[in-house]
Each structure stands twice: as C-alpha cells, then as structure tokens.
C-alpha cells in the first residue's frame, strides 16, 4: 500500500520532535517498520518519524540503496563533528522538486539508541554523515530548503508559507 508523507509547506514539519520512551511499545515498533517501508517506497536514503506524521526523535537510514540494511536511530545526539565541511545540494522526500544548498560536516559522531534501548556511539562519514545531519534537522523542525548558500536561514524558514496540517486527520481515518 502507498504510504503518504507529510509534505512542505505543512506546518507539522516545523514541530520539534519528542524523546522516544523505552521500552518501545508495539505501536512504536510498528512505526519503525512503517518508516522503513516508506523510505524504500519513496526511494529515499533517510526518513524521520515526523515525515510520516509522528513527532518522535527517531529516523531510519539506508545509504546503500540495496534496501537490505535499514538502520534505525532513536533519540540521536551528535556528540562530535569534524572541522571540515562540504556545501552541496540536498533534496527531501517531504519537499519534492525542491533543493537546498547546505553546508554539512564531513564527519560526525552520533550517540543513539537502538530498538532494544541499547546505547551506541558511532562515527559516520560523507554521505551517511550528510544524511544524518539532514534527519537531525527534521527532529528540530528544520528543512534543507531553509538553507541559503550553505547557511541556515531563520528568515527563509519563516518566509516559507505554512498551511495547517491536515495530515493527522487523513492518516487516522
Ligand atoms: Zn528530509
């Protein structure tokens, strides 16, 4: 079945997500499967919970495009980053046809929990590092299209037209 994503300019994408409590309940476990399915269905390499209508601090990622190795990151925090950055264009499944020019760290170290609540600290490079920083922005209600010439722009964020979210209503029925 087709999974609908929350799309720009829906104001829901601007909400700050909340910590995921452990142990995971059945609903959250099912949501993770659902997010993986949505990511593959829409041919993305990463997807945050907010993009399928849940204000939770977690995202899935698979930069291999093999659709065989989805990773889930719950309550993630970037604890270290490289000095080196790279500015490049990024797209987002929630903003089809648009792109932003975003400066990202080439290397980041992420602390996160897995499905069992186990804590991990791992370093990621290049595309994975960029993807994680993109998803981390989603947890704060930021989008790659808010960036201008590499830098985050509050003004651009504010100027983006917002519409009331009707996603929740639709997805509950
Ligand atoms: Zn995105």
pLDDT at 132: 98
Other beta carbons within 10 Å of 10: 19
- 68 alpha carbon – ligand 1 mean position (Å): 21
Is the pLDDT at 43 greater than 80? The verdict is yes
* Strands 71-81 and 58-61, bridge-based pairing: antiparallel
Residue with more model confidence, 84 or 173:
84
- 145 alpha carbon – ligand 1 mean position (Å): 9
Residue with more model confidence, 31 or 162:
31
Q: What is the pLDDT of residues 94-111, one digit of tens each?
A: 999 999 999 999 999 999
- The whole-angstrom separation of Cα 112 and Cα 121 is 7
Q: State the chain's mean pLDDT as an integer.
A: 93
- 94 alpha carbon – ligand 1 mean position (Å): 6
pLDDT at 142: 97
Is the pLDDT at 171 greater than 60? The verdict is no
Q: Which candidate, 80, 142, 75, places its Cα nearest to that of 114?
A: 75
Distances (CA, A) of 55 to 17, 20, 58, 88, 173: 4, 9, 9, 28, 18
- 46 alpha carbon – ligand 1 mean position (Å): 7
Structure tokens given for 11:
């104001």
pLDDT at 120: 98
Q: Among the options 36, 90, 128, 135, which is catalytic?
A: 135
- 162 alpha carbon – ligand 1 mean position (Å): 17
- The whole-angstrom separation of Cα 37 and Cα 142 is 23
Query: Which segments within the chain are labelled E, that is strand?
Result: 46-48, 58-61, 71-81, 85-90, 100-105, 107-113, 119-125, 147-148, 151-152
Is the pLDDT at 59 greater than 50? The verdict is yes
- Name 107's Cβ contacts closer than 8 Å, sequence gap at least 6: 81, 82, 84, 123, 124, 125, 129
- Name 9's Cβ contacts closer than 8 Å, sequence gap at least 6: 160, 161, 162, 163
Is the pLDDT at 26 greater than 90? The verdict is yes
* Strands 119-125 and 58-61, bridge-based pairing: unpaired
Q: What is the pLDDT of residues 112-126, one digit of tens each?
A: 999 999 999 999 999
pLDDT at 173: 41
Considering only the C-alpha atoms of the chain, give the largest distance between any 2 of them, rounded to a whole number of Å: 47
Taken in order 47, 50, 51, 54, the sign of the CA dihedral is positive
Is the pLDDT at 63 greater than 90? The verdict is yes
Q: What is the pLDDT of residues 77-99, one digit of tens each?
A: 999 999 999 999 999 999 999 99
Is the pLDDT at 168 greater than 60? The verdict is no
pLDDT at 119: 98
Active-site residue, 135 included: yes
Is the pLDDT at 162 greater than 80? The verdict is no
């Amino acid at each position: 079945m087709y999974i609908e994503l929350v799309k720009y300019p829906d104001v829901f994408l601007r909400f700050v997500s909340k910590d995921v409590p452990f142990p995971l309940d059945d609903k959250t476990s099912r949501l993770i499967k659902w997010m993986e399915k949505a990511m593959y269905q829409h041919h993305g390499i990463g997807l945050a919970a907010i993009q399928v209508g849940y204000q939770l601090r977690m995202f899935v990622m698979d930069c291999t495009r093999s659709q065989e190795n989805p990773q889930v990151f719950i309550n993630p925090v970037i604890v270290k980053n490289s000095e080196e950055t790279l500015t490049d264009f990024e797209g987002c499944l929630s903003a089809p046809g648009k792109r932003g020019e975003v400066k990202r760290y080439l290397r980041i170290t992420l602390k996160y929990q897995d499905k069992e609540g186990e804590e991990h600290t791992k370093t990621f490079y290049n595309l994975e590092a960029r993807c994680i920083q993109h998803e981390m922005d989603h947890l704060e209600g930021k989008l790659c299209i808010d960036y201008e010439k590499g830098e985050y722009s509050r003004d651009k964020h504010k100027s983006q037209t917002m519409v009331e979210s009707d996603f929740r209503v639709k997805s509950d029925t």
